[in-house]
Amino acid sequence: MLIGELANEVGTTVRALRYYEQQGLLHPRRAPNGYREYDETAVGQVGNIKLLLSLGLTANDIRAFLPCLDRDIVDGPVCPASARVIARRLADVEEKISALDVVRQRLIEALTQAGGRREPADQL
């Protein structure tokens, strides 16, 4: 299938597919006329790439998943190299949460000292 057909099939843009290729995540064949040609496995690969990006992984992180992008990774086992990437990304997220919790506490204290009352976030 051509790049536009793949984009429609997986619900993404041609630009995103070109980016995935540029990052080494997709490897289409080239027709004699230079057009990119994708086989049916590309549908699953792009679905997996989109899933991993939605988890906060970067294109660089996703390279560790290349050996298993052909399989459905939603319910399946994680590739050994990818488990390290996920653990590292999780540690980064937990570190950011801790830092944000410190900022949150300081803001609550500052608001209390200023005599303000804490409003629920949806009423601010």
pLDDT digits (tens, 9 = 90+) for 87-116: 899 999 999 999 999 999 999 999 998 886
* Residue 46 contacts residue 26 (beta carbons within 8 Å): yes
Placement of tokens 């900022």 in the chain: 103
- Domain boundaries defined on the chain: 3-123
- The pLDDT score that the predictor gives to residue 5 is 97
CA distances from 105 to 79, 99, 111, 121 (A): 39, 10, 10, 15
Class of domain 3-123 as given by CATH:
mainly alpha
- Report the chain's C-alpha Rg in angstroms: 21
pLDDT digits (tens, 9 = 90+) for 31-71: 999 999 999 999 999 999 999 999 899 999 999 888 888 88
